[in-house]
Amino acid sequence: MEHPFFQNGFLILGHRGVPGEAPENTLSSFRLAKMQGADGIELDIRQCKTGELIVIHDARLNRTTSGRGFVRAKTLQQLKGLHITGADYQERIPTLEEVFREFIDEMILNVEIKGHPRKADGVEQKLIALIRRYNAVDRVIVSSFNPIPLRRIRKLAPEIATAFLVDRKFFVHRSEKAIVKLAGIHAIHLEAHLATPPLVKRLRDLGLHVLLWGEFPFERIPELKTMPLDGIITDYPKQVRQILEGLQP
């Protein structure tokens, strides 16, 4: 049976919001993606010292915040005392629950689990509990470059959609079946440079859905739209939306 997440049509997801116009992975960036016509947002999560799920890309705080050190070594109170670098306002690091509270009723969420923990650290259970509490099974997909947390989610909550992230460092030729068997995933999130009609068809023939991410020239969008894709994760949701609307008969 088709997973309800993939009944939302062709999706345009703002990659960390709209990072070129607002600080990445912030509520302001997500609000801007919504204003620009995105169907949803892609965001990254890590667990902090006190156990909360925090929306941030890097393992260290240095690049995007006024803090230093590892996210996992800081309490939520310490993290909330920081401000986001480059913001002209008092933007703070959001928790995943804050994002759910504001956006889950109106937007699709792609939650990417960051990091490669050597053992289970409870992230999957907390994420599952949050999705269930907000009755958001049809509006959330969980992705990762690491198939292990995806496998855990599949075992604990098979009703939640999962996607394995593939970039140029991971050569997918003839390996799709192994990944599907290991993680039990629903989708591949494929770096756009790897997207060719034969590969996308092969993935679809395996029963996998396919979303694209990464940089690509806007001129490729008409070509990409001819492939059996489920959506695009992009830094430029407004421009992608305008081009796709222009392609409609």
pLDDT of res. 142: 98
- Which residue in 15, 186, 189, 209 is the catalytic one? 15
How remote is the C-alpha of 197 from its chain's centroid? 23
For residue 161, the SS3 value is strand
Angstrom distance (rounded) from CA 46 to CA 166: 20
pLDDT of res. 86: 73
Handedness of CA 222, 223, 225, 226 (dihedral sign): positive
Tens digit of pLDDT for each residue in 198-212? Answer: 999 989 988 899 999
pLDDT of res. 118: 61
pLDDT of res. 175: 61
* Residues in the chain, pLDDT under 50: none
Contact in structure between 15 and 42 (CB atoms under 8 Å)? yes
pLDDT of res. 36: 97
- Which residue in 3, 57, 83, 116 is the catalytic one? 57
- Per DSSP, 118 falls in state S
pLDDT of res. 119: 67
**Cα Rg for the chain, rounded, in angstroms?**
17
Q: Is residue 57 among the annotated active site residues?
A: yes
Handedness of CA 132, 134, 138, 142 (dihedral sign): negative
Q: Is residue 83 among the annotated active site residues?
A: no
* Domain coverage including residue 147: 4-247
Q: How many domains does the chain have?
A: 1
CATH number at residue 10: 3.20.20.190
Pairing of strands 53-55, 231-234: unpaired
